[in-house]
Amino acid sequence: MSATNTMATFRYKTFGYAAQSVGARLTPFSFERRALRPNDVAMEILYCGVCHSDLHWARNDWGWSAYPVVPGHEIIGRVIEVGSEVTRFKADDHVAVGCMVDSCQHCDQCRKGEEQLCREGNTLTYGSPDRITQEMTQGGYSKHVVVRQEFVLRVPEGLDLARAAPLLCAGITTYSPLRTWGVGPGSRVGVIGLGGLGHMAVKLASGLGAHVTVMSRTPDKEADALALGADRLLVSTDPDAMAQAANSFDLIIDTVPTKHDINPYMPLLDVDGTLVIVGQLGNLSEPSTVPLMLGRRRVAGSPIGGIAQTQELLDFCARQNILPECETIRMDQINEAFERMERADVRYRFVIDMASLTA
Ligand SMILES: [Zn+2]
Ligand SMILES: [Zn+2]
């Protein structure tokens, strides 16, 4: 943003990468951010993680994308300017923005700090109408962003800026169910799928003191699972191993990003155990009620977490030195990164170094 943009009436000129239509590759795109409101924080984006949702949104996989599309909701930045009423941040602070940038702020869920469950619907970082101007929000594959201070996170001292970005979506999406279901020392946690979300679930559950099992269709991910902090790998296609694991989990986090059958996993839960789904999959294969009733077991879903819990996660990761495994890319490598992500050819998250994005 130019240094002359100091008056609140000026909109911020910025640039990034956008998809202009369904099926289009992401290409350079100049656009504007809103003028600073009194409670807004303007930041230069330093890093942005690449999430599966970015790809789905860019390609209109959910059917409601509004073009042009600038994806990106795992944002690490540096404050460059604050509005007149901003008290929590000042220039040069290291800050972060996740999947949402606004909510009603007055419903029961918002007052509890569960803005992700806002009764009026939260405003997503990209692809949502701004609550005041109705302009579509645009994401973090760009040089700058303007966000109200209530949705800006503080990056704690000591957290590696270049690797922290995926905590803002993959991290909080897996941390929130761990906290909702009270995971701590001695908890028995299973993780299905070892991608961007799964690898964070392993690190975070392990960091909370749980006994962690990765469930995979083949044994070839065992070394990776153990290296990430898991205690063992359970091969889900091995009937004997699955039978032996019956009733042995308190919580299973299912991170598989495509339609699949959850029935083989349900008997693995102990009484009152929960299988929580954190991917947006649409329909699942038909679940059987038998293991649900016999073990009083539950299937649940969980979105991201609230702002307070996201801050708790960042602080927890700084204290415990838990960081996502990242491959850093340049902005102009994003289309290739999308293709590799579709082939699950990434360990475990791409992060764009925004220093590589120039006008
Ligand atoms: Zn995401
Ligand atoms: Zn609300």
| Identity of residue 118 | C
Predicted pLDDT of residue 5: 45
Tokens 């819990």 locate to: 309
| DSSP conformation letters of 235-294 | ETT-HHHHHHTTT-EEEEEE---S----GGGGGGEEEEEEEEE-S--SPPPPPPHHHHHH
Quote the pLDDT of residue 11.
87
Identify the pLDDT of residue 9. Answer: 65
Please tell me the predicted confidence (pLDDT) of residue 189: 98
Ligand at shortest distance from the CA of 123 = 2
**Tokens of residue 359, six digits:** 């006008």
Distance CA 329, CA 334 (A): 8
pLDDT digits (tens, 9 = 90+) for 46-57: 999 999 999 999
Q: Does the structure show a pLDDT above 70 at 2?
A: no
User: Could you tell me which residue, 43 or 1, shows the higher pLDDT?
Assistant: 43
**Per-residue pLDDT tens digits for 169-225:** 999 999 999 999 999 999 999 999 999 999 999 999 999 999 999 999 999 999 999
Q: Which ligand is nearest to the CA of 197?
A: 1
- How many A from CA of 147 to the centre of ligand 2? 17
Distance 124 CA to ligand 2 centre (A): 13
Q: Is the pLDDT of residue 8 over 60?
A: no
Ion ligand 1 neighbours (CB, 5 A) are 51, 53, 169
225: nearest Cα among 242, 212, 237, 236: 212
Q: Which of 3-12, 250-259, 274-283, 301-310 has the least mean pLDDT?
A: 3-12
Q: What is the pLDDT of residue 307?
A: 98
> 30 C-alpha to center of ligand 2: Å?
32
The contacts of residue 34 (CB under 8 Å, 6+ apart) are 11, 12, 40, 130, 133, 135, 146
Q: How many residues does the chain have?
A: 359
The CA distance from 336 to 55, in Å, is: 11
Ligand 2 centroid distance, CA of 108 (Å): 7
Per-residue pLDDT tens digits for 315-325? 999 999 999 99
Pair 116, 143: CB distance under 8 Å? no
Q: How many C-beta atoms surround the C-beta of residue 296 within 10 A?
A: 12
| pLDDT at 313 (0 to 100) | 98
112 alpha carbon – ligand 1 mean position (Å): 23
Write the pLDDT tens digit of every residue in 263-295. Answer: 999 999 999 999 999 987 778 888 899 999 999
Q: How far is the CA of 289 from the centre of ligand 2 (A)?
A: 34
pLDDT single digits (tens) 141-176: 999 999 999 999 999 999 999 999 999 999 999 999
- Spacing of C-alpha 334 from chain mean position: 18
Q: What is the mean pLDDT of residues 137-141?
A: 98
CA of 278 to the centre of ligand 2 (A): 21
Beta-sheet strand order (sheet of 298-301) = 232-235, 211-216, 188-192, 249-254, 269-277, 298-301
Instruction: For 109-129, give one letter per residue: b (16+ CB within 10 A) or e.
Output: bbeebbbbbbeeebbbbbbbe
Closest ligand to Cα 54? 1
Q: What is the mean pLDDT of residues 40-65?
A: 95
Per the structure block, which two tokens stand in for 170?
């993959």
- Distance from the CA of 11 to the center of ligand 1, in angstroms? 27
For range 119-145, the mean pLDDT = 97
Centroid of ligand 2 to alpha carbon of 307 (angstroms): 12
State the ligand closest to the CA atom of 118.
Answer: 2
Residues around ligand 2, an ion, CB closer than 5 A = 103-104, 107, 110, 118
Average pLDDT of the chain to the nearest whole number: 95
What confidence tier does 6 reach under pLDDT thresholds 50, 70, 90? very low
Q: Is the dihedral of CA 182, 279, 351, 63 positive or negative?
A: negative
pLDDT tens track for 71-95? 999 999 999 999 999 999 999 999 9
Report the pLDDT value the prediction gives residue 290, as an integer from 0 to 100: 92
The pLDDT value given to residue 284: 84
pTM confidence score? 0.95
How far is ligand 1, taken at its centre, from the CA of residue 5, in Å?
31
Please report which ligand is nearest the Cα atom of 104. Answer: 2
Sign of CA dihedral 314, 317, 319, 325: negative
Ligand 2 center from residue 308 Cα (angstroms): 14
